[in-house]
Each structure stands twice: as C-alpha cells, then as structure tokens.
C-alpha cells in the first residue's frame, strides 16, 4: 500500500514538473486546427472554445510547459530550449492565443492575458531564427531584425497579439515606442504575403492607422486616409476607393465578413458616417454565415449586431 502511494506521488510530481507526454497523433490532430489559409478550424461555440483551449494545452505540454511556468514573464519564454523544427508549434500557440482572446474571451483581463501570452510566443518564434536573434542583439534594433525575417506567421501573430495588448494602454504604447515595432512587423508581413490568413495584413494595417490616438505633432497618430488605402483592396466600395488601382484583390472579398466589419468600425464610424456604417453592418447581417469561414463569420456577425446598435443611437 505504501509502495502504491509512493508511485502515485512520484507520478503526481512528474506531472507537475513535466506534464503528461503527448503523442505524435495528438500533435498532428492539433496542428490540423491551424490551417495557413483558413481560420482556426473550430466553431464559434462553447465546444469550439474548449477545443481551442485543449489545442493550446496540448502544444504547451508537448513543449515542456508545466504549471510552474510563468506565462507573464517574457524571459521565461525566451529561455525555453525548443528545436527549430517545432517552430510551427510555437506559431500555432501565438495564433491560438490571439484567436482565444479576440473571439472567445469576454473579460478584458482574460483577453489581455491571452494577448500577452500570444505576443511572447510570437517573439519566441522570431528569436528562434538565429539571424533574427543576432541582428536584434548586435544592432540593438528590433526593427532591423524584422526587416530580415521571412516567417510570415511569426511576424503576423506577434503583431496581432502585441497590437491588441496595446489597445488596453494606447498612450502608454505610444510613449513606449511600440508603434514603429508594430508597423515594422505588419509591413514586413504584407511585403512577404499580403494574402496571408485571408488578406489579414491589409485589415491589420487599416486598424493600426485608424486606432492610433489623434494627437497632433506626433509621428504615429490616427490617419484615416491611410487606413482606407489598406482597406480598399479587400472591400467592394468603389465610391470610397476611386484612387485604388488594384481593388479588390479578388472578387470574393465580401465572403469574409471581417473585411466589411473593419471598414465599418475603423473607418466609417471613426469618420462619424453613421448612415454608411449602418449600411455596411446591415449587409453583414443580411448575408449567410456559410460554411467557408464558420468561425470568424459567426463572430463578425455578432460583432456587427453590437456595432449596429451603437450606430443606431446616432441615426
């Protein structure tokens, strides 16, 4: 009896310190939830959230993360010894935390915590590239290192999480000099693959320039014309995009609801064009969610209804 209890105690300690092992089959099934050219393959339901959280737990366990790991300490992530061939796992974690915070979590503290974790996993992925790490170290310039990076996923999801985290303290982010780093990340992603994650670099850059504070005489301040210039390739709005020579980039841009949602929220509402914002938001609600983008279309439809209620107060 004592021997059995001892075995159980050893097993418990092993779990706390190292976590249970994860099989190759479990890893393959988990990574299949993160297709490069689609949304994360879970539904916008409580079961979908549970599946995403389980995927995050699986990947972190496989990378040796235990209950003792300090998820709020950037240095703890950078100290992890992870083989380069597992870089895709790290990118999936950055993307997973972004999706969890953006789509599923409702509490601001929980959302911010998810974005912090996603940012640190993204930075870990970037610094797993020896060239990136050396340039950043030697030049003491994150921006210079970003200019040489070729991993679009690492660039984009680092940006996504970092920018969303900064939304909770925009002025602090400006004074910390975050905007040049964020701009470098997302401009590099756009340069490498503008269609990544269903044209996400365009939407991200539009939101970046629209969400900055409108403080005069500083370099990084709200610039709505510039925001619109990044939106035009992914919206069917010829009246607004008369100067765009490459709009839209495809004829199916309206199929992905977030394109119109970003246009309404970050441009039309910022310009106080309430009738136009209502028109675009209603167009989202009038369209079927469909089977092509079930996660984000369902989420964006819900968000469009919330924004429309806000817009209607101005009509």
Q: What does the alpha-carbon distance between residue 151 and residue 73 come to, in Å, rounded to a whole number?
A: 24
DSSP 209-270: HHHS---TT-SS---HHHHHHHHGGGS--TTT-TT-SS--SSTTGGGSHHHHHHHIIIIITT
**pLDDT of res. 20:** 59
Two tokens, residue 93: 């974690």
Sign of CA dihedral 206, 211, 215, 217: negative
- Compute mean pLDDT per 10 residues along the chain, 315 residues long, and list them: 38 43 93 94 98 98 95 97 97 98 98 98 98 96 97 98 94 90 98 96 98 86 96 96 83 96 98 98 98 97 98 97
Q: Please work out, in degrees rounded to the nearest 5, the angle formed at the alpha carbon of residue 157 by the alpha carbons of 152 and 158.
A: 100
**pLDDT of res. 13:** 38
Q: What does the alpha-carbon distance between residue 179 and residue 181 come to, in Å, rounded to a whole number?
A: 5
Two tokens, residue 144: 């210079």
Count of Cβ atoms closer than 10 Å to residue 172 Cβ: 10
List all residues 6 or more positions away from 98 whose beta carbon is below 8 Å from its beta carbon.
Answer: 114, 115, 118, 157, 160, 161, 164
Tell me if 94 sits within 8 A of 157, measured CB to CB.
yes
Two tokens, residue 312: 């209607």
List all residues 6 or more positions away from 99 whose beta carbon is below 8 Å from its beta carbon.
Answer: 39, 40, 52, 295
Count of Cβ atoms closer than 10 Å to residue 105 Cβ: 18
Comparing CA positions, the residue from 168, 158, 146, 184 lying closest to residue 94 is: 158
Two tokens, residue 311: 């817009």
């Amino acid at each position: 009896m004592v021997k059995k209890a001892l075995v159980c105690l050893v097993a418990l300690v092993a779990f706390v310190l190292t976590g249970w092992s994860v099989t190759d089959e479990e890893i393959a099934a988990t990574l299949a939830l993160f297709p490069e050219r689609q949304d994360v393959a879970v539904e916008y339901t409580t079961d979908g959230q549970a599946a995403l959280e389980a995927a995050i737990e699986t990947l972190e366990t496989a990378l040796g993360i235990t209950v003792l790991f300090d998820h709020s300490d950037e240095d703890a992530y950078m100290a992890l010894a992870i083989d380069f061939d597992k870089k895709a796992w790290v990118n999936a974690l950055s993307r997973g935390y972004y999706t969890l915070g953006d789509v599923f979590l409702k509490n601001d503290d929980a959302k911010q915590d998810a974005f912090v974790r996603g940012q640190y996993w993204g930075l870990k992925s970037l610094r797993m590239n020896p060239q990136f790490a050396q340039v950043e170290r030697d030049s003491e310039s994150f921006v210079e290192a970003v200019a040489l990076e070729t991993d679009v996923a690492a660039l984009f999801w680092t940006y996504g999480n970092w920018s969303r985290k900064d939304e909770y303290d925009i002025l602090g982010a400006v004074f910390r000099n975050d905007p040049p780093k964020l701009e470098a990340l997302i401009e590099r992603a756009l340069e490498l693959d503008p269609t990544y994650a269903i044209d996400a670099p365009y939407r991200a850059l539009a939101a970046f320039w629209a969400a900055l504070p409108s403080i005069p005489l500083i370099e990084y301040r709200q610039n709505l014309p510039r925001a619109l210039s990044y939106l035009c390739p992914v919206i069917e709005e010829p009246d607004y995009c008369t100067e765009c020579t490459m709009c839209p980039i495809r004829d199916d841009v309206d199929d992905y609801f977030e394109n119109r949602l970003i246009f309404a929220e970050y441009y039309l509402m910022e310009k106080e064009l309430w009738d136009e914002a209502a028109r675009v938001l209603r167009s989202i609600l009038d369209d079927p969610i469909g089977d092509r983008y079930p996660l984000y279309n369902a989420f964006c439809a819900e968000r469009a209804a919330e924004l429309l209620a806000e817009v209607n107060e101005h009509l």
